[in-house]
Structure 1
Amino acid sequence: MNYLSQLTRSFTNRKVKIKLLGIYLAVTVIPILLIGFYLNYSMRNVVLNNTINEVDANVDKLEMRLNTILDRAINISDQIYISDDLKKVLEQEYDNNLQIYNAYASYPIFNNYLRYYNEIENIRFYMTKEMITNSQFVYADQETRNQAWYQKAIERQGRISWEYMQDKWTKESYLTLTRSVYGNNRELLGVLAIAISPDNLTSISKSELFDVFVSLDSEKIVHSKDPRYLGEHPSFIKKADIQDQESIIYDTEFKQENYKIYLRSFKPSKTLANQIQITALIPIEDVIKDSRKVLYNGFLIVTICLIVSITLIGLFIKSFDKRIYQLRDAMNNIAKGNFDIKDRKLGGDEIGQAYEDLVVTADSIKELINEVYIHKINEEQWKRRQKESEFKMLASQINPHFLYNTLEMIRMKALINQDQEVARSVMLLSQMMRSSLEVSEQPILLESELKLIKTYLEIQKMRFGDKVNFSVAVECDIQDYYIFPLLLQPIVENAIIHGIDREMETSMIEINVYRTADNLVIEVKDNGVGIAPERLMLLKNALDASEDTAQQSSGIGMNNVNKRIKLYYGEAYGVDIASEYGIGTVVTLFLPSEKGPDSDAEIIDH
């Protein structure tokens, strides 16, 4: 209940236009989008399931045809395995090669099989007995005996094994049945190899719509429409340990596209160790392309309808919100005492009627105020203006011209008395006072600000004598460069007050102006006592602190300069301070850089 109350209160506190838009989204846009996503997902699944069912039926046919081909090779191997004529040819001793050729000719069964069964590509018998080799009878030399398929056939002692191996004569690779053959006394006569015709495998899968791969033991692809994949590892097979007659479906990525994989695994008859996998790769995007087009068209229609409806509700909300704000502003003006409300036509509904009533109310209040308070207000205003006039008359008695004239009179008397130092001091003070009194919030030339700083330093030099020296170095063109007034004066004043070491014979104040790639930099250096690390940390923190915090810390003038720079130029600019205790302090101002040719450094030393 508390959660429901908080939700209700939060909704109540929202603006009316937010409420209207939220309700529209909740009851119209969101349900339509959810229904669209549901239909898209459901249709996608229906299309994919139909395709998978079709593929399942095709794979059933493909498995049946493939088993027919493999069974043909298995039956041939059985007949050869039990053939007494073959054993007689291999066990008999021969005196010359002619007798061997005659023996081969008396056993034409290999040629008969190749002639009548197009499922078979070739038949090779690798003999252990060293005899003359022809196209079917091949002597198993040491190289052949070292091959894995030959050794595996011997280890299985007459049981059928399937290999994807290269033919000795054609150098082509075939799906091959291998089987060791023994004599009547169980002596090894050789290994039989029956290769399956690739053309026959192609004929059983050429009508398939999708890519179909036949692999052996999930290790090598033995048939594919694309010959580039023959002999390759079937990377799209994720479960190599599936059981006989098991079919699985899963998603994977192949050739940088998303596929749904239909995998069927089975064992050929009379085979113990090998499994054949038939894999159909279903490209998801191609399958759902047509249905997606229909859905896209549907989404387009829905989107157009939503755009029209959102536009209409937006126009209504905008008009409603505008009239509400006009009514609210009128009420706010009345609350603040401003009863001059424009007579607007906000329509004939409740909002327009409320505004008309508010105008009548404001007029009534104005009449009442005029009757009771106008005379008293006018009297108080007259008295205040009288006081202001008296104050201005008093202030005008002492004005800047009077001050300048007085200082000029003092300077002239000093010149008459031949006191040059006093005369110069008065002149500098007059210049500085004139510049200070003319300061406004408008930017001034940087040259003018530097001139004021030089005047200030001249006065300080006259005050401290040779104990204080200064230099101003301008290392770039600052013509027509404007800054806010009194940015440098507080920094230089701090250097005089806090930077000068009273025990040093000569204190130096250096002002350097130069440009970097991004900034105009103004440095104020002194060789005074420096700042202790703890104090320096406080000053740096104050530069980054809020207004209230900064006012509570020291360095108010520097904080003020930093704040003015950031407010006018941006957060990328400001003031930085660096100091080493006992060595000196450097305060740096970073201002925006202005493009312009560099000029020779102008150095003023005193």
Structure 2
Amino acid sequence: MQYTLSEGIRDHVKIRRRNMEALTEGRRVEKVKKWLLQRFNNMKLPEKLIWLFLIVVVVPIISAGIYLTNELREDALDEAISQAALNNERVRQRTAEVLRVPVFVSNNLMFEDRIRTLVNTRFTSTFDVVQAYRQFNVFSYYKQYYPDIQSMRMYIENDTMINNWEFIPVTETIRERAWYKEAEANAGFMKWYYVQDETNGGHPYLSLIRRMNFLEEKTFGVLMITIKPAVLDWMLNQEMYLTMIVDEHDNVVASNDQTKKGQKLGSVLENSEEKEGQALYEAVVDGSKSQIIASDIVVDELSQNRLRVVSAVQHYHIVGNANTLAAKGALITFLAALAAFGIITLMSHLFSKRLAELSSKIKLVAKGDLSTSVEMDGKDEIGELSRQFQHMVAELNASIQTLKETNRQKVELQQNQSDIKLKMMASQINPHFLFNTLESIRMKAHMEGAKEAAGIVKLLGKLMRKSIETGGRPIPVEQEMEMVRCYLDIQSFRYEQRLSYKLDLDPAAKGLLIEPLIIQPLVENSVIHGLEDKGEGGTVSVFVHLETSGLRVVVKDDGKGFAAERLAEVQHFINDTEEEARIGLRNVHQRLLLTYGRGAGLQVESQEGEGTMIQFVIPLKGEGRDA
């Protein structure tokens, strides 16, 4: 039964919260509508005509122009991206053909016995080394037969050989280079590297690096075949858009823009939004937003890394014509709007002149000159308005008298409604408290006997009698606190050891008169909403002190409290002045406001899990004897 009741309360709170949110949103929309209508009504006729012209003519034209320009820009951009993708694919295939040559040559050299014999021979003199180099023409043959190859060299672990820029004995400096370390650690190593060529001024070139294993001798050499940069540059220079070849370390090894060559891709493509495996993404190139197209170059299945072709399509190269067309359209629209503005201004002047004359007559009547005569030619709306105004002036005196009588009756009716509302709020009482208490008394009497139950019945009767005897008249603070004590004793009986309370009444405040049932509902709220669902119970404290500012009443509990969002809802709820106000916090809050003024309303503070504090201050009247 307790679980079902809790669920019902939560559902009720959710429904009420949704209703309040909908009501708040509706009020907000109504306020906006009212504000716009008021602004429109406050405008002069020329301003209204100009705004009408802007909304009906200028805004649609500008919107259509912007839409068409954007469509043109998007179409141009899509077409350029499609063309760039085709160009990228063509470059990728042609680059793959160029790079297959070093792979093919390295495959042949793997089975070249002359290389095996040369690098594994232990020479006894420099003359023997030179003679062997003269007889070796394999590298020269391949460079002559394949002009795309710039250089071929092999790094070897044979200190009896000398460096002739084709066979280079390995030194400690070479051993520290990353590509050599990787080749030394991987027997099947074959990768493309952008490395410096010490045989050609130390400039970096795209090179195929491959480990050649000599199994019988249990040795190896590292072969490096370098591609001529001019071959790649010539191929890329035929492209319209920025096109680059990038290695796996994001080095730009070739480009149709020589300033980009040798840079990192990240420094070329700013604010890149590339994701792993993504072929199309956006970036900023040279300060211009660009579409980036990237594709992998597949050279050989044995290659252990990848090269990429990256194309950048800069937006300003594509949408320049669309921007020029948009500028011309904007100029034509501006000239047309300027001409129409002149016509609207002339027409508004003719209208406003007649309206100004009518307005001057209305101002005289507003100052009390009911003898003013309004005569204006024309059968249009302005002429009709002047005649109706003349008729209105004739009846204005009678209307003023009627209005005064109506206002008097309205004020009297509002005062009567306030008195009725106060009496209705003061007469309300929470039936759940009576039902729950009587049930607790019945169960206690049944289980333990009648003495304790009789005491509770006596307290309950005393509480009900004091509530009925007040009759809505002010009572002493001491009597109100006695009712609070009776209520807490009854609730202590109901909750047993789970509820304790503290009452602190300033002796100087005992005789002050306050509205009845103004503190007890706050205490009831703390018990029911703060401690009822708290398993270990808690303490309710009531402090009534006389201060300079007035009589301060504080009701605190250490119950479950509520979050900031719920606190805002409670504060909104207690300030709701609609007729369906119910008992509880809103009842007390409205009674305080009606009786003692706006400064006497409830102040609610709460923190979730720590409890709630509700307080109010009643201003004093006449030497502190009457609050």
Q: TM-score, normalised by structure 1?
A: 0.54
Counterpart pick for 2:337 among 281, 306, 311: 306
* 2:241 match: 210
- Bigger-Rg structure (1/2): 1
Shift of 1:361: 10
* 1:242 match: 276
8 Å contact from structure 1 (residues 247, 265) kept in 2 = no
User: Which runs of structure 2 are paired with 1:474-513 in the superposition (5 Å)?
Assistant: none
Counterpart pick for 2:59 among 30, 46, 49: 30
2:181 corresponds to 1:151: yes
Quick one: structure 1 residues 323 and 239, their matched pair in 2 at CA, closer, same or farther if it must change by over 3 Å? closer
Quick one: structure 1 residues 98 and 10, their matched pair in 2 at CA, closer, same or farther if it must change by over 3 Å? closer
2:102 corresponds to 1:66: no
Q: Which amino acid aligns with 2:120?
A: E
Shift of 1:110: 0.7
Counterpart pick for 1:124 among 139, 145, 153: 153
Q: Which amino acid aligns with 1:55?
A: A
Q: Matched residue of 1:169: which SS? A: helix
Quick one: structure 1 residues 8 and 194, their matched pair in 2 at CA, closer, same or farther if it must change by over 3 Å? closer
* 2:306 match: 275
Distance in 1 between residues matched to 2:280 and 2:215, nearest whole Å: 45
Distance in 1 between residues matched to 2:142 and 2:386, nearest whole Å: 105
User: Which runs of structure 2 are paired with 1:511-522 in the superposition (5 Å)?
Assistant: none
Quick one: structure 1 residues 266 and 317, their matched pair in 2 at CA, closer, same or farther if it must change by over 3 Å? farther
* 1:114 match: 143
User: Which runs of structure 2 are paired with 1:131-530 in the superposition (5 Å)?
Assistant: 131-170=161-200, 171-185=202-216, 187-235=218-266, 236-237=268-269, 238=272, 242-243=276-277, 247-250=279-282, 252-335=283-366, 336-337=368-369, 349-352=380-383, 355=386
Distance in 2 between residues matched to 1:5 and 1:168, nearest whole Å: 80
Deviations 1:334-366 (A, max 9, x none): 45317567977x76644246558978999x99x
8 Å contact from structure 1 (residues 177, 193) kept in 2 = yes
Q: Which amino acid aligns with 1:72?
A: V
Distance in 2 between residues matched to 1:60 and 1:44, nearest whole Å: 24
Q: Give the % identical residues.
A: 21
* 1:91 match: 120
Q: Which amino acid aligns with 1:161?
A: K
Quick one: structure 1 residues 165 and 241, their matched pair in 2 at CA, closer, same or farther if it must change by over 3 Å? farther
Distance in 2 between residues matched to 1:218 and 1:23, nearest whole Å: 61
Distance in 2 between residues matched to 1:21 and 1:85, nearest whole Å: 93
8 Å contact from structure 1 (residues 218, 240) kept in 2 = no
Distance in 2 between residues matched to 1:331 and 1:44, nearest whole Å: 57
8 Å contact from structure 2 (residues 244, 254) kept in 1 = yes
Deviations 1:125-163 (A, max 9, x none): 112112022131112222112211111122221321111
Q: TM-score, normalised by structure 2?
A: 0.52
Quick one: structure 1 residues 295 and 339, their matched pair in 2 at CA, closer, same or farther if it must change by over 3 Å? same
8 Å contact from structure 2 (residues 91, 236) kept in 1 = yes
Distance in 2 between residues matched to 1:142 and 1:361, nearest whole Å: 111
Distance in 1 between residues matched to 2:66 and 2:302, nearest whole Å: 49
Quick one: structure 1 residues 154 and 270, their matched pair in 2 at CA, closer, same or farther if it must change by over 3 Å? farther
Counterpart pick for 1:104 among 108, 130, 133: 133
What stretches of structure 1 of length at least 5 have no aligned partner? Answer: 366-606
Distance in 2 between residues matched to 1:218 and 1:338, nearest whole Å: 93
The total of aligned residue pairs comes to 361
Quick one: structure 1 residues 207 and 84, their matched pair in 2 at CA, closer, same or farther if it must change by over 3 Å? same
Distance in 1 between residues matched to 2:106 and 2:329, nearest whole Å: 61
Shift of 1:196: 1.0
Distance in 1 between residues matched to 2:213 and 2:33, nearest whole Å: 90
2:84 corresponds to 1:55: yes
8 Å contact from structure 1 (residues 248, 264) kept in 2 = no
Q: Which amino acid aligns with 2:326?
A: L
Quick one: structure 1 residues 338 and 210, their matched pair in 2 at CA, closer, same or farther if it must change by over 3 Å? same
Quick one: structure 1 residues 186 and 332, their matched pair in 2 at CA, closer, same or farther if it must change by over 3 Å? farther
Shift of 1:111: 0.7
Distance in 1 between residues matched to 2:279 and 2:349, nearest whole Å: 60
Q: Matched residue of 2:265: which SS? A: coil
Distance in 2 between residues matched to 1:90 and 1:49, nearest whole Å: 56
Q: CA RMSD in A?
A: 3.3
Shift of 1:220: 1.2
Deviations 1:175-219 (A, max 9, x none): 111111111326233110111110000111111112222111142
Shift of 1:94: 3.4
8 Å contact from structure 2 (residues 195, 204) kept in 1 = yes
8 Å contact from structure 1 (residues 179, 191) kept in 2 = yes
8 Å contact from structure 2 (residues 281, 291) kept in 1 = yes
Distance in 2 between residues matched to 1:37 and 1:241, nearest whole Å: 32
8 Å contact from structure 1 (residues 211, 282) kept in 2 = yes
Distance in 2 between residues matched to 1:198 and 1:300, nearest whole Å: 50
Distance in 2 between residues matched to 1:269 and 1:276, nearest whole Å: 11
8 Å contact from structure 2 (residues 273, 281) kept in 1 = no
User: Which runs of structure 2 are paired with 1:543-582 in the superposition (5 Å)?
Assistant: none
